[in-house]
Amino acid sequence: MAYDVVVLGSGPGGYVAAIRASQLGFKTAIIEKESLGGICLNWGCIPTKALLKSAQVYNDIKHAQDYGIEASGTPNFEAIIKRSRSVADKMSKGVNFLMRKNKIDVIMGFGTLKAKGQVEVKSADGKTQIVEGKHIIIATGGRSRELPTMKQDGKKIIGYREAMSLPKQPKSIIVVGSGAIGIEFGYFYNSLGTKVTIVEYLPRIVPVEDEDISKELEKNLKKQGIEILVNSEVTGVDTSGEGVKAKIKTANGEVELQADILLSAVGVAANIEGIGLETLGIKTDKGKILVDKYYKTNVDGFYAIGDCVPGQALAHVASKEGIVCVEAIAHAEGKYKHQPEPIDYNNVPGCTYCYPEIASVGYTEAKAKEAGYEVRVGKFPLSASGKASAAGHAEGFVKVIFDAKYGEWLGTHMIGYNVTEIISETVVGRKLETTYHEVLNSIHPHPTISESVKDAIEVAYDEAIHL
- Among all residues, which ones are annotated catalytic? 446
Residue 45 CA to residue 36 CA, distance in Å, equals 14
The contacts of residue 449 (CB under 8 Å, 6+ apart) are 382, 385, 387, 388, 416, 417, 418, 419, 421, 422
Give CA–CA dist 407/197, Å, rounded: 42
| Under 8 Å between Cβ of 42 and 12 | no
Angle between helical axes of 180-191 and 211-223 (0-180°, round to 10): 20
Nearest to 343 by CA among 427, 271, 421, 285: 427
| 45-62 vs 180-191: helix crossing angle, rounded to 10 | 40
130 and 295 Cβ atoms separated by less than 8 Å: no
Instruction: Please state whether the peptide bond connecting residue 148 to the residue before it is cis, i.e. omega within 30 degrees of 0.
Output: no
Spatial distance between the Cα atoms of 180 and 292, rounded to a whole number of angstroms:
28
- Name the helix (H) or strand (E) containing 45: helix 45-62
List beta partners, residue 258: 245
Contact 324, 340 (CB under 8 A): yes
Torsion of CA 129, 131, 137, 138, to 10 degrees: 10
CA angle 4/8/9 to nearest 5° reads 135
213 neighbors 206 (Cβ within 8 angstroms): yes
Q: How far apart, in Å, do the first and last CA atoms of the chain sit?
A: 66
Question: Looking at the DSSP assignment, which residues form a beta bridge with residue 195?
Answer: 172
